[in-house]
Structure 1
Amino acid sequence: MDLKLEDFLYDLPEERIAKHPPKERANSRLLFYNQGDVSHHQFKNIQNLLPEGSLLVFNDTKVIPARIIMHKESGARIEIFLLEPLKPSRVHEEVMNAKNSCTWKCMIGNAKKWKQGTELIIPSLSIKALRTNTDEVTFIWQNDFTFSDLLAAIGKIPLPPYIDREVNDQDEDRYQTVYSKMKGAVAAPTAGLHFTNEIIESLPKKNIKTDYLTLHVSAGTFQPIKNEKINEHPMHNEQIWLSKSNVENLIHAEKVIAVGTTSMRTLESLYWYGVKLINGQNSFFIDKNDPYTLDAKPLSQALEAVLNKMEQSGNEKIGGHTEIFLYPGYEFKICDGLITNYHLPGSTLILLVAAFIGEDWRKVYRSALDNNYHFLSYGDSSLLLR
């Protein structure tokens, strides 16, 4: 399929970009797209719209304070943005619990003022940041703190680039889901920001089950598509974790609703991992082209292959990496529904929505704009059922 970027653009007025969260999480608005029909609701009533017997799958990643501001002795301001851990492990949870030192791949602001091989120091906390490579920084400290403790003291929550303001105390709470648990994301899985504990607790009364997996959202989620041919866009790599119970619940699920594009990408990646296992490939890495080059297998076979692999290895959790790229032409294997916010024009996430509901993505976005919805991370929500 020959996809052109211009076909996935729309006019997003600046004033429609939400720069602050709503006063209450569940007071956001909810557009309900149900097999072509569009209606408007309050998010706090979402449990009344979800199909009975559904399995709602949440991403429980937790945003870390990934922006670190340091200064040279000259006063030059250097901003370090953590991207992904490198040492002593590439597993986020292990690095967040590291003591004495760790190394991260980073984006460095004002990089020309900070030479490789030189250190920046925060004397009050005895922390050194050594630039070991163009995009690598090693943090060294002598106290008994974990890296997570240090980040809490020196880091800031990394708001998206289109929220062009300083972080405030409200963001510490509201740019985090109420169920966030696994530290490692540098951007929030924003579809989940609308959920309250009360809504989640009300779901079983409607015979709606819940489950939690992990995708550590990377800064690549904001990377604009610049290639004329969409499928040439270099997709970002993100770390994912799934449990044995995740796979078992999916095998028995009637309908699967992904809470957010990150959950959807993880679920569809799980399917393709099962296909690779069937083909004799054991590596849990999903290349962006895998869904378009591998031969599909029945869903039950793919999930059983993953379950058998976990039982044979005695692992209750599996970790992998995904670059999965979901664009029109992709046939969804696991997900029947999607809860998601409104995304930037010409973004990979608009393509994902267009892949899921086809040309009706235009109807959804036009209706949201016509009805004064707020857009992007702190904006309103939608429930999309194919």
Structure 2
Amino acid sequence: MKLSHFSFKLPEELLAEHPAENRDEARLMVLDRKNKTIEHKLFKDVIDYFDEGDVMILNNTKVFPARLYGNKEKTGARIEVFLLRELNEEQRLWDVLVDPARKIRIGNKLYFGDDETLVAEVIDNTTSRGRTLRFLYDGSYKEFRQKLTELGETPLPKYIKRDVEPEDEERYQTIFAKNEGAVAAPTAGLHFSKHLLKRLEIKGIDFAEITLHVGLGTFNPVEVEDLSKHKMDSEEAFVDQKAADIVNNAKTKKKRVCAVGTTAMRAVESSVSSSGTLNEFSGWTNKFIFPPYEFSIANCMITNFHTPKSTLLMMVSAFAGHDFMKKAYEEAVKEKYRFYTYGDAMLII
């Protein structure tokens, strides 16, 4: 398939600037792949599609406050620094993006906070906007990380034009977030409330928790028409034996196994045995899923509504079928579903 197959007109007003008032009361579009039907529900109705022994695979990554603002030495110019990944704990080296990048060169120093106790030195250029920073801080590593948390803000995606609000700190995390390391939320999981999780648990649905630390590479634009030539950035993922056992047991019993989000799907599809079962996994994955693709683990998925030509749209199209997904997105635009990070959800069964 070609990049142009995933183009569609998305009215700007359908990009969700705020989350739904209650997590589980976002809208839910239900796609039945076998019968090619579309239903319109609320997210809390998702419970009606699952039975005892079914499994939901949850990504328990936790978003850290990755966006910092510093001032360049001498000029005092305000510079945005977006933390991508820690390269070396002992030396406090980080891969970052800077904006505006044209002002930041090797050797420059940036000062953060009113007291300027946190300083970073630029030691390398990695991409047009990418830099490697060495942070200089007198305290312990624990105190250094605490300082980053204090100075950082919730890294809402750039399409959200408003300022970060107090509610974003809570709403841009899933309620099952545990393992810090993501710079963007696994958005399908944002729709689960504590009450809904408890109802699912009472009904007998099992949960398999995996971790995939979402990086900005997930959202990088595809710039080649031939999708086989696109390279995904690597993201760190962990699947422990307990999660693998829960999933494999459900598969053996022919139960519904639902990947909650494209990140959960990418993690489990990156660790498949030759017999089609889920293996324990710890490492990096750059798996890019686009049609045609044969999925090995999940037979159901929950996802948000994605933007045109995105790798996320390509994955869900591979899962639901390209023509059916195209029809569903036409329906979503017509019915004014909310798109992207804080938008509505889709259940594909």
Q: Give yes or no for TM over 0.5.
A: yes
Runs of 5+ unmatched residues, structure 1: 89-97, 275-296, 308-317
Q: 1:107 and 1:210 mapped to 2: Cα distance?
A: 35
1:129 maps to 2:146: no
Structure 2 alignment gaps of length 5 or more: 126-130
Q: What are the equivalent positions in structure 2 for 1:13-28 lying under 5 Å apart?
A: 13-28=11-26
| CA positional deviation for 1:52 | 4.2
1:129-148 → structure 2 map (5 Å cutoff)? 129-134=120-125, 135-144=131-140, 145-148=142-145
Residue in 1 that maps onto 2:298: 335
1:153 counterpart (150, 154, 162): 150
Write the deviation string for residues 244-281 of structure 1: whole angstroms up to 9, x where unpaired: 1011112201221000000000011111xx3xxxxxxx
Alignment-mate amino acid for residue 9 of structure 2 = D
Would you say the 8 A contact 2:305–2:343 is kept in 1?
yes
- Greater mean deviation of Cα atoms: 248-257 or 62-71: 248-257
Asked whether the equivalents of residues 60 and 180 of structure 1 are also in contact (C-alpha less than 8 Å), the reply is yes
Shift of 1:51: 4.5
5 Å-filtered alignment, 1:79-90, equals 79-88=80-89
For residues 62-211 of structure 1, the aligned pairs below 5 Å read: 62-72=62-72, 73-88=74-89, 101-122=91-112, 124=115, 126-134=117-125, 135-144=131-140, 145-211=142-208
Match of 2:9 in 1: 11
Partner of residue 373, structure 1: 337
Q: Give the corresponding residue for 1:298.
A: 275
Query: Secondary structure of the residue that 1:124 maps to in structure 2?
Result: coil
> Higher mean Cα deviation, 76-85 or 328-337?
76-85
Distance 1:44 1:147, change over 3 A: farther
Q: 1:155 to 1:331 in 2, by over 3 A?
A: same
Alignment-derived partner of residue 39 in structure 1 = 39
Partner Cα distance (2:58, 2:144) in 1: 26
SS at match of 1:173: helix
What whole-Å deviation, never above 9, does each CA across 1:57-115 have from its counterpart, x for those lacking one? Answer: 10011111111110124221111111122103xxxxxxxxx7xx511111111233233
Q: CA deviation at 1:361?
A: 0.4
Partner of residue 49, structure 2: 49
CA distance in 1, matches of 2:276, 2:105: 51
* Aligned 8 A contact 2:208 2:247 in 1: no
- Residue 330 of structure 1 aligns to a residue in which SS? coil
TM (norm. structure 2) is 0.92
Amino acid at match of 2:101: A
RMSD of aligned Cα (Å): 1.6
Aligned partner (choices 313, 316, 330) of residue 353 of structure 1: 316
> How far did residue 44 of structure 1 move?
1.6
Report SS of the residue matched to 1:372: coil
> Are the counterparts in 2 of residues 126 and 143 from structure 1 also a CA contact under 8 Å?
no
In structure 1, distance between residues paired with 2:51 and 2:314: 25
Identity within the alignment, %: 38
Partner amino acid for 2:138?
Q
Give me the whole-angstrom Cα distance separating, in 1, the residues matched to 2:342 and 2:108: 38
Letter aligned with residue 15 of structure 2: I
The alignment partner of 1:11 has SS state of: coil
Query: Structure 1: how far apart are the matches of 2:40 and 2:49?
Result: 11
Written as runs of structure 1 = structure 2, the 5 A alignment for 1:236-385 is 236-253=233-250, 254-271=255-272, 274=273, 297-300=274-277, 303=278, 306=279, 318-358=281-321, 359-385=323-349
Query: Residues 259 and 340 of structure 1 are in contact (CA less than 8 Å); yes or no, is this contact kept in structure 2?
Result: yes
Whole-angstrom CA distance in 2 between matches of 1:363 and 1:229: 23
Q: CA deviation at 1:194?
A: 0.7
1:132 counterpart letter in structure 2: I
Once residues 353 and 257 of structure 1 are traced to their aligned partners in structure 2, the CA distance between those partners, rounded to angstroms, is 13
